[in-house]
Chain A
């Protein structure tokens, strides 16, 4: 049913595309390099690292881009404390892509590779965008395909060494162990950017994502009520569905104020076959000042209901086919407030640099869970039982600092 809606919208936009005026010339992104340091700290987790992005035009109609990104993760989150051990690990992501401009059409494609000790991911994407209606409108379509391998790390009790569980994926027909489980992903997105007035522009996006394979976390556990157990509950493995399809639609508006400043407002609606419905609303204000400075402020609100197979505490073992306690699937409200500032500065004696700026940004994230309790407080140490443990709240600070150079 949802896919039919998607097809109808694609067809409508393609029919509009038939009536467009002949092609002229489009624009490729600016040549620029960004070097970012990011740090996320909250809920017992610290994730930090660098990210470097390069965009460069090779000819007037051909550009390439590349990104190198790292996360250094140190985790003792509430989930890890409950069912695993605190750990440290590194995740590296590399991507490369190109854009080819032909008339008013831009063709893009790229590849993304991500690697961490217990997760490998490869994604390819292909995109077409078309300027139309006197360049007031840009229509884009993207298809992406991902192949992931999920591993489970285990700790050798004798040596303390951590390695992949050699038989996490089961055994092949010859009886050889398989160390991973597959997860495949497909995505179909369409977007429309529309100049509405001299000071107002809108962007509308719609995306369908489908997943198939192992979609859960091999470490996190469910809890089920067990009056005979010391803490009143027992842990068991999560059981996820092997498929998921989601639909998301968003609209974003940007308005140029009379005194050179910009207002941004956006809204996104999300639904999936796991029963999650979510709303995201965001407001932003951008204010240039003192010739070289740009100030930004943003507010973001997000709310979702729980997945149909989520429960903080299942009534008994094997209660239903699918069972999960990942807090990403719980019901919660999330609030983010952020501010940033950019400073444009000249680099003397470098004629090949057009512009350079240094930016810092700080955001505070609060997630207020409605049905996810802090189970680490259950027992004599915490003083709570399975019935009155407090709902969990996540407070996190997000820091970014980056240098941008246009050349």
Chain B
């Protein structure tokens, strides 16, 4: 009985802590590397979009690349 009460209390505590403001564990002044262009997921968008099109036209898979796409050009 006591164990169940403790479990409920711990569960409630975890639930409530989930809605408290989360403290960022990487502070803003520690993020200078992410401002470096080499850390961008899409450093050259015009080239990235072209690559997505090249592969999408020749492979069965598509999507989840972060781009939108459009049209065919499927030759």
What is A's interface to B at a CB cutoff of 8 Å? 18-19, 21, 34, 36, 38, 40, 45, 47, 51-53, 55, 67, 69, 71, 73, 75, 77, 91, 93, 95, 110, 112-116, 119, 121, 123, 125, 133-136, 142, 144, 146, 148, 187, 189, 191, 193, 195-199, 201, 203, 205-209, 217, 246-250, 252, 254, 256, 260-262, 264, 268, 270, 272, 274, 276, 278, 280, 286, 288, 294, 302, 304, 307, 328-329, 334, 359, 361, 365, 367, 394, 398, 400, 402, 404
Contacts and interface: CB of A to CB of B under 8 A. Distances in A.
B1 interface: no
B8 interface: no
Given A114-B73, A136-B26, A288-B38, A198 B61 contact: no
Nearest to A74: B75
Interface string B26-45: 10101101101111010111
27 contacts: A21-B22, A36-B47, A51-B46, A53-B45, A55-B45, A93-B70, A95-B70, A112-B69, A114-B71, A123-B70, A144-B68, A193-B41, A196-B26, A198-B33, A201-B41, A207-B64, A217-B74, A248-B64, A254-B41, A256-B38, A270-B64, A274-B60, A302-B59, A334-B59, A359-B47, A398-B54, A404-B46
Q: Which bucket holds chain B's interface residue count? A: 35 or more
Interface string B46-57: 110110001101
Contacts of A294: 37-38
B75 A75 contact: yes
A307 B21 CA distance: 48
Contact of A77 (B23, B62, B71, B75): B75
Given A199-B33, A262-B39, A334-B59, A71 B66 contact: no
B64 A205 contact: yes
Interface of B: 18-26, 28, 30-31, 33-34, 36-39, 41, 43-47, 49-50, 54-55, 57-66, 68-75
Nearest to A142: B68
A140 B73 CA distance: 28
Contact of B58 (A67, A270, A276, A328): A328
- Counting chain B CB atoms within 10 Å of each CB, the highest count among A199, A217, A398 belongs to A199
Contact of A304 (B30, B44, B61): B61
Contacts of B68: 110, 112, 123, 125, 142, 144
Given A288-B38, A359-B47, A400-B50, A189 B59 contact: no
Given A51-B50, A328-B58, A398-B54, A205 B65 contact: yes
A193 to B, nearest CB: 8
Contacts of B37: 294
B61 A302 contact: yes
B47 A400 contact: yes
Contact of A209 (B36, B39, B44, B63): B63
